[in-house]
């Protein structure tokens, strides 16, 4: 067990650049973004840019906690409306995450049935999917 631990430690801590890359996604990915971009200088620049932008919008500050709490309440309310019926909540979760980002970016959140919000979600889905 000790040797396996040392091998894992050596691989992941001492040589992270060798083991940090993502698997190739093929030609069906339109834009890799930060999540699926190959590890390297480009990935590091994108990550740094994203973190800087998120910090300017309040990430890591108490103000963001209130926005997340507000959205969690809205999410619970939407899920409660399903009356315990089997429901795929992945769209609800995507909407909740997007609403937190919208509240940081635009200063307001959208109702999950709002036509403008649904259009925005559809465009984002087409852009990344």
Predicted local distance difference test score (pLDDT) of residue 39:
76
Residues 98 and 106: their CA atoms lie apart, in Å, by 11
Predicted local distance difference test score (pLDDT) of residue 72:
95
Predicted local distance difference test score (pLDDT) of residue 73:
95
- Which pTM was predicted? 0.53
Among 72, 75, 66, 74, smallest CA distance to 104 is for 66
Contact between 72 and 55 under an 8 Å Cβ cutoff? The reply is: no
Residues 118 and 99: their CA atoms lie apart, in Å, by 11
Question: 10-residue block means of pLDDT along the chain (129 residues)?
Answer: 77 78 60 67 85 76 81 94 89 91 84 89 79
Predicted local distance difference test score (pLDDT) of residue 125:
78
């Amino acid at each position: 067990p000790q040797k396996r631990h040392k091998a894992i430690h050596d691989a992941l801590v001492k040589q992270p650049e060798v083991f940090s890359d993502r698997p190739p996604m093929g030609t069906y990915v339109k834009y890799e973004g930060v999540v699926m971009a190959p590890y390297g200088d480009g990935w590091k620049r994108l990550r740094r840019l994203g973190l800087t932008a998120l910090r300017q919008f309040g990430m890591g500050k108490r103000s963001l906690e209130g926005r997340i709490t507000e959205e969690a309440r809205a999410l619970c309310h939407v899920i409660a409306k399903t009356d315990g019926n089997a429901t795929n909540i992945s769209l609800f979760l995507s909407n909740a995450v997007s609403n937190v980002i919208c509240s940081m970016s635009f200063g307001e959140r959208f109702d999950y049935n709002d036509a403008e919000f649904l259009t925005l979600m559809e465009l984002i889905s087409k852009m990344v999917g």
